[in-house]
Every structure is written in C-alpha cells, then in structure tokens.
Amino acid sequence: MAKVFTIPVPPAVVGRKRRERTSDPRYVDGQRLLVEAMKYLAKSDPVSNRSAIELISEHVRTRFRMSDSPLG
C-alpha cells in the first residue's frame, strides 16, 4: 500500500520579492471605453444592439476580473 502525504501550507519561497503595484492608465482607460460603448449602444437602440452589448459585456466579464493586474 502507498501512503499519501499532504502539505497543508505551501512552502515559503526564499528570495521572492513582490513588485509594487502601480496602476496603468491605459488599462483603466480601456475598461472605461468598453463601458462607454455599452452605454452608447444601450441609449441609441437597446433592442437591436442587444447582441453587441452582450458581446462587450461578456468580454469585460472574461477579460477583466478583480484579480487582474495591469502589470501583467
């Protein structure tokens, strides 16, 4: 019989430095542009532009999450 070993806590990596987080204005502007596009499409004709709004909305949901970082 084989034994199963579990490690409850991942080992600390020595020498790992955290980068300082700085915001990238292009990243924020890109999100703002997508939201403005959805607002424009919804205001002009929400019924016929519904599929375009859904496409942009899906892109925002899948590409930009709270855990995303403009640092890459």
Give the CA distances from residue 29 to residues 16, 24, 34, 55, in Å, rounded to whole numbers and listed in that order.
31, 9, 9, 19
State how far the Cα of 34 lies from the Cα of 37, in Å rounded to an integer.
5
Sign of CA dihedral 13, 19, 21, 26: negative
Whether residue 38 is contained in a domain is answered as yes
pLDDT in tens, 5-26: 776 777 677 766 776 767 778 8
Helices (H) and strands (E) in the chain, counts: 2, 0
Whether residue 19 is contained in a domain is answered as no
The count of domains in the chain is 1
State how far the Cα of 61 lies from the Cα of 63, in Å rounded to an integer.
6
pLDDT at 59: 76
State how far the Cα of 50 lies from the Cα of 58, in Å rounded to an integer.
12
pTM: 0.53
Whether residue 54 is contained in a domain is answered as yes
Whether residue 31 is contained in a domain is answered as yes
Whether residue 71 is contained in a domain is answered as no
pLDDT classification of 43: cutoffs 50, 70, 90:
very high
Structural domain that includes position 31: 25-63
Report whether pLDDT(32) > 80.
yes
Whether residue 47 is contained in a domain is answered as yes
Whether residue 6 is contained in a domain is answered as no
Whether residue 15 is contained in a domain is answered as no
